[in-house]
Amino acid sequence: MTTAHLSGRRVLLIIGGGIAAYKALELVRLIRKAGGEVMTLLTKSGAEFVTPMSLAALSGHPVRQDLFMPEDETAMGHIELSRWADLVVVAPATAGLIAKAANGMADDLASTTLLATDKKTLWAPAMNVRMWEHPAVQANVATLKSFTGFHQGAFVGPDEGEMACGEYGFGRMAEPAVILQAIDRLIGAGSRPLAGRRAVVTAGPTFEPIDPVRGLTNRSSGKQGYAIAAALADLGAEVVLVSGPVFLNTPQGVRRVEVEAATEMKAAVETELNAAPVDIAVMSAAVADWRVDGVATGKIKKAPGGPPALHLIENPDILASVSKSGSVRPKLVVGFAAETSDLEDNARAKLSRKGCDWIVGNDVSDDVFGSDGNAVTLFTRQGSETWERQSKTDVARKLAQRIADHFKA
């Protein structure tokens, strides 16, 4: 039995009501044994068959049960749960859960989570044979299977055999070991489309020294760039994050190179380009346009003659130099355009002036720096797509997915 893809991945297991719910306990154990992390969500009827206590003990996480629990909503509500997971598994999947998900009904934690998630969902149905064969259930199953992209529903089982109700036929939930294999396959399939690709991401502000204690910088938090590095790594890329000074943790699986000034950032990026071929460059740093000419070696003192005059000189444009780096040019170079007006014109002008392939244009006139949300337009040489305001994490995931699609094509 191979579970090559499960290690380090997160499974949200939704447990519906049915005698097969006891098998969910074994499934939790198997996922963890394979190196995966499991969070369980127990429906009201599921709780008639297995106890939250056993699930919490086996999964190592609190069990989620209610849509409206003040402490759960602050800790992890339905939106956070769906974001947390790499894959959602419904086992046992009852006729009721299948019907709700197929029809977009959301009236409890399980169904709202299923509607809120943009992750693939694996269904392990368990029900009486005549329920399973009912055209209503079959129509709902067909609907879930017809969903595409992230919302695509995959099925494992049900198996044929004797049922708890004494009847014989299709309706038994697949065995936990078989569900585990299906989980592993689903996580493996297309979930690491950037495996084998190397990416360099710049993020954060730069800090341009005036003297040993002072400097010029800007209000970039680095959040968007860090989220992009994380999203590319999640899709399997080997990511180097060249970061200016920020207060953020290094995302898992990402190598961080810390720099301060723009010239250092440029040198660090060049080192990476020359070390090994880079497929993807995403230059999201807010590089200071100017630096101080002749940084003072000692602290500048207040003098009777008034404040010192700072002579500024232009910093090198890292994005432009990466775009024109000849034999070491990454296959795809993505820049950012932070604009307060005329987004499209300015972004398109930057695209051609800097020679990059894509530009992510964002309107910074409105609450972007330091905030968790972002509204961007992706400009390519072929066209543009505007993405409604969403979290920087979601913007990053979407961009990483577009990058993966680009390489697939």
Under rule CB under 6 A, residue 335 binds ligand CTP: yes
Total count of residues recorded for the chain? 409
Q: If you search the block for the tokens 């954060």, which residue do you land on?
A: 204
Closer residue to ligand CTP (CB): 110 or 343: 343
Under rule CB under 6 A, residue 97 binds ligand CTP: no
Paired tokens of 273:
């380009």
183 touches 88 (CB < 8 A): no
Residue 321, φ and ψ in degrees, nearest 5: -70, -35
3-class DSSP state of 357: coil
Q: What is the DSSP string of 24-77?
A: HHHHHHHHHHTT-EEEEEE-TTGGGTS-HHHHHHHHSSPPB--SS-HHHHHHH-
> Per-residue contact track with ligand CTP, 148 to 187, x per CB under 6 A?
----------------------------------------
Residues 6+ apart with CB under 8 A from 351: 335, 358, 359, 379, 381
Under rule CB under 6 A, residue 281 binds ligand CTP: no
Under rule CB under 6 A, residue 243 binds ligand CTP: no
Under rule CB under 6 A, residue 226 binds ligand CTP: no
Residues 6+ apart with CB under 8 A from 355: 320, 323, 324, 333
Do strands 198-203 and 37-42 pair parallel, antiparallel, or not at all (unpaired)?
A: unpaired
Tell me how far, at minimum, the Cβ of 197 lies from ligand CTP, in Å. Answer: 20
Q: Which residue in the set 173, 285, 333, 378 belongs to the binding site for ligand CTP (CB under 6 A)?
A: 285
In the residue annotation, 165 being an active-site residue is answered as yes
Residue 312 CB neighbour total at 10 angstroms? 13
Closer residue to ligand CTP (CB): 216 or 338: 338
Under rule CB under 6 A, residue 264 binds ligand CTP: no
Under rule CB under 6 A, residue 368 binds ligand CTP: no
Question: How many residues sit in the footprint of ligand CTP (CB under 6 A)?
Answer: 16
Q: Which of 4, 165, 195, 275 is catalytic?
A: 165
d(C-alpha 197, C-alpha 362), whole Å: 26
Tell me how far, at minimum, the Cβ of 261 lies from ligand CTP, in Å. Answer: 11
Under rule CB under 6 A, residue 273 binds ligand CTP: no
Under rule CB under 6 A, residue 140 binds ligand CTP: no
Q: Which stretch binds ligand CTP (CB under 6 A): 13-21, 39-47, 97-105, 311-319?
A: 311-319
Q: Which residues participate in catalysis according to the annotation? A: 165
Interface contacts to ligand CTP, rule CB under 6 A: 202, 262, 283-285, 287, 289, 315, 317-319, 335-338, 350
